[in-house]
Amino acid sequence: MKTNKMKTSKLVMLLFVMIFTGMSINSMAQRDLMRLQNFQKGQRMNQQNEWMCPIPDLTEDQQAKIKTIRLKNQKEMTKKRNLMREKRAHLITLQSEDNLNMKEINNIIDQIADMRAEMMKNRIANHQEVRNLLTDDQKMFFDNHRNMRNRGKAGRRFGHGDFGRQGCMGDRSGMHGRRMQW
């Protein structure tokens, strides 16, 4: 009789564990599906709206000019990012040597800092170039949308980014893969 009770209790326990495991797997799958859907929604928005910011009432002329500015900036920034990656790799190499050359290390650090400052200046100049193409209402939307995006960046520093959230001018806030930053 005890063996039947033990068998029954083991079966009930096994059934309970299987149900709990199934529910956990299902909730993880749903969460992953939601993330995928958000990402795909962002991809569709990207295809429809190259600069990824739905500025209202853009004329075709404005769209063409913004696209030209964006492409020009992408080319420049890609070159600068690649050069910065080379400098960082060189810095890692210098830091791993037995006899550190602090003068050369400091020189590379200064070069990286100068490159970051130059990239930031370019981003702001390009933002202003796009902004100058817009009407007052469009500028207000563009500026407000940009501020909302920056708040998301502040949250991401502390691990609270929104997966797949879209910002203006090619920024994919909350996503690891970077595109273009303005």
On whether the CB atoms of residues 164 and 39 are closer than 8 A, the answer is: yes
Mean pLDDT of the chain: 77
Q: Nearest CA to 143 among 158, 128, 155?
A: 128
Angle of helix 60-95 relative to helix 102-131, nearest 10 degrees, comes to 170
SS3 98: coil
pLDDT category of residue 101 using cuts at 50, 70 and 90: very high
pTM score over 0.85: no
DSSP structure string for 20-74? HHHHHHHHHHHHHHHHHHHHHHHHHHHHH-TTS---TT--HHHHHHHHHHHHHHH
The continuous run of DSSP H or E covering 103 comes out as: helix 102-131
Q: Which two tokens stand for residue 125?
A: 């100049």
Q: Nearest CA to 180 among 40, 66, 63?
A: 66
Residue 165 CA to residue 168 CA, distance in Å, equals 10
pLDDT category of residue 149 using cuts at 50, 70 and 90: low
pLDDT digits (tens, 9 = 90+) for 39-64: 666 555 444 444 456 788 889 999 99
